[in-house]
Amino acid sequence: MLLWCYIYTIKAAHPIRSNLEEKKIRFFYVGLASSILQCCGLLRSILDHVVANLPDPDNCARCRADSAVCSPWHTTDPQAQSLPWTPLCSNVIIAPYSGHTHRLPDNARSVGSTDNWLALGLGHNYTTEDDKIHYVVHNYVLHNPFTNRSLPLPELDAVIIDDRSAIRKFLMRSTVDDSVAVITNNRMHPLIVFQRGKGVWSPATQTNPYIYLIDIAFLGDKLYAITTAEDLIPLDLASDGDERPMVAMGTRVIKKSFESHTTSDEEGDDHDDAENSNEEKEEEKHNDLTYTNINCSAVFGHDAGPGNITMISRHLIESDEKLLMVKHRQGLHPQGSWVTLKVDVFEADFSIHAWVPLTEGLGGGRALFVSMNFSKSVPAPYGEVEEDVIYFMDTGDMFNMKFGTSSPSKICDDSGTTWLFPQEMVL
C-alpha cells in the first residue's frame, strides 16, 4: 500500500496532457512497480494485487507482457495456461488475458496448426505488375512457440511450393513424427499425406472426390473427410514396402450428394452417371486452372435476402471418440464484421449412415474451439472454458448450445487465423 501511495504521489505531480501520454505514464508505473517488487523478492500475489488496482486494468494487463515486467507473469499465469493462444495474420501470436506477444520471424506467416504446433510458411511479399501483393512461400516449417522448437518440412516443400498455393488445413495425427494431412487449393495436389523423413502421398491430378474435400479429422487410425455436400468419407492410412505413406479410400459412411465420385461404393445409378457426366464437362472447362477456390470450408449462402450477405462454413471435429460436424451460418454486419446467425451440430452415426442433430449439448462435458484452420474439442468446464459452448474465431463470439444463444467472447479474437493450445490443454 505504501508503494501504491508513492506511485500516486508521483502521478499527481505530473498532470496528464493526452491519452497517449497517460498510457506511457501508466506503463512506466507498472514497470516501476514490478521492478521494485521483483528486487525486493516479494510474492507474485502482491504484484497481482498492485495490477488489479491500477486505473485501467485492460491496458495494464497488456503492459505485463512487456520485457520490462517480471517473468512470473509469462510463466505462471494460470489463466493463460487454460486458454488457447491466437496467431494473427501477421507474424505475431497473442496470449490470452496478459496480451503477451510471441513474435515470429519477419518472413513467417501462419498457415495452420495442430494443438501446440504451428505450421509456418517462410517467404516474402511479392508485388505484381498490377500492384497486387502476394506472399510467396519458399519453404514450410513446424514451430512450437511454447518450447521454441522448429522442424523443417521438406516433404511438403517438394509438393506445393508455389506463389499461388494455399493450405486450407494442416492436421497432425499425434506427434511430429506421425502422419500429417494437408488440404490445399491446388487441383494438382488437393490432399497431401506425409510423414517427416518417410515420404509423401497425393492423389492423381484432379481426382474426385479429393477436389471436393473441405475438412478432415483423425479418428483412431483413420482419416475422415467431409465435402460441401456433407458426405463423410473414410481414408485408410498405410505404408508401402519402403514405409512411404499410402492412402486408400473406403466406402462413404454418409452419402448426401448425388455425385458418383470414384470410391469403392460406386452403385452404377443412372442418375449418378448423369451427374458425373456433367461434372466431367465442368472439369474440362477448368483443366487449365490449377489454383481455384476449391476445398474451401466456407461458401456464401444463397437464401439471403437483398442486401444481406451470409456465409456457411462446415467443420469436422473429433470429440470424445465421436465425429461431429459443426455448421456455422454467419452474417455480415453493416459495420463490416461477421456475426453468428445460426449454429447446427451433428454427430456421425455409423450404424444408420446419417448425421444426427445434437440438441441437448455436446455431451460428455466438452467445449469446442472452431476456426477455419484448426478446431478442437476440450474438456469443460476448465478455467474460463464453459461446458457445451462453441468458441468461434471467425466471428469472435461464443455459442451456448443448451440455450441456443450467441454472445461476444473475451476468449476469441476475430483477427486471429487459428488456435494454439498450451500443453496443459493438449489431452
What is the amino acid identity at position 36? I
Strand partners, 318: 323
> Residue 375: what residue type?
S
CA distances from 173 to 113, 176, 262 (A): 12, 8, 25
Instruction: State mean pLDDT over 124-147.
Output: 87
Which residues does 67 contact at the CB level (< 8 Å), separation at least 6? Answer: none
Which residue in this structure is represented by grid cell 456455422?
328
Confidence of residue 216 (pLDDT cuts 50, 70, 90): very high
96: preceding bond cis by omega (within 30 degrees):
no
C-alpha angle 238/242/245, rounded to 5°? 30
Mean pLDDT of the chain: 77
What's the pLDDT score for residue 54?
45
What integer is the mean pLDDT of 77-88? 74
What's the predicted TM-score (pTM) here? 0.75
Model confidence pLDDT, tens digit, residues 293-348: 677 887 777 665 556 889 999 999 999 999 999 999 999 888 778 899 999 999 99
381 SS3 class: coil
What's at 34, amino acid-wise? S
